[in-house]
């Protein structure tokens, strides 16, 4: 029995992996708003390749509850120095949660509602050192 060797796979360099921070506020609903602070998931990309980042997390606590959020950024927007940022335009989950006895619990006394959040991420963070 002969073994068929696999052909060599050519090395194709990729842009560096990186993430972005996002800090902002939600819209007002039912008389309150929430803070949003998160990092988007790291991907390989640069300011010209059209990459996007996924994100998920939750808002900060306000009026006794928080909301989950999940989505994707827009493509990169290149800055004059070669760095880039991404636009985020999202909507929170409509279920108000609280942290109770080591688990998340729906707050039934608060009407279901959503909050819009939007803005720009910061420039990329977490790049590997040159030659790494």
What are the sequence ranges of the domains in the chain? Answer: 17-125
Using one digit for the tens of pLDDT, what is the confidence trace for 37-48? 999 999 999 999
Residue with tokens 């998160």: 38
- The pLDDT-based confidence of 114 (bands split at 50, 70, 90) is very high
Alpha-carbon torsion (42, 45, 47, 52), positive or negative: negative
Q: How many angstroms separate the CA atoms of 3 and 29, rounded?
A: 65
Q: How many angstroms separate the CA atoms of 40 and 56, rounded?
A: 8
pTM of the model: 0.86
Residue 2 has pLDDT above 70, yes or no: no
- Nearest alpha carbon to residue 14 among 54, 43, 52, 57: 43
Total Cβ atoms within 10 A of residue 109: 9
- The pLDDT-based confidence of 1 (bands split at 50, 70, 90) is low
* 35 touches 60 (CB < 8 A): yes
Total Cβ atoms within 10 A of residue 70: 13
* 63 touches 73 (CB < 8 A): no
Using one digit for the tens of pLDDT, what is the confidence trace for 26-40? 999 999 999 999 999
Name the CA dihedral angle for 125, 35, 119, 50, rounded to a multiple of 10 degrees. Answer: 40
């Amino acid at each position: 029995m002969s073994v068929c060797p696999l052909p060599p796979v050519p090395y194709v360099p990729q842009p560096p992996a990186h993430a972005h921070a996002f800090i902002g506020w939600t819209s007002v609903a039912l008389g309150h708003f929430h803070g949003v602070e998160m990092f988007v998931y790291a991907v390989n990309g640069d300011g010209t390749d059209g990459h996007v980042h996924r994100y998920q997390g939750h808002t900060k606590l306000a009026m006794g509850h928080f909301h989950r959020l999940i989505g994707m950024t827009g493509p990169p927007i290149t800055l004059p120095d070669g760095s880039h940022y991404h636009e985020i335009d999202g909507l929170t989950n409509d279920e108000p949660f609280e942290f109770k006895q080591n688990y998340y619990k729906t707050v039934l006394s608060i009407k279901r509602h959503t909050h819009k959040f939007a803005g720009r991420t910061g420039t990329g963070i977490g790049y590997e050192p040159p030659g790494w």
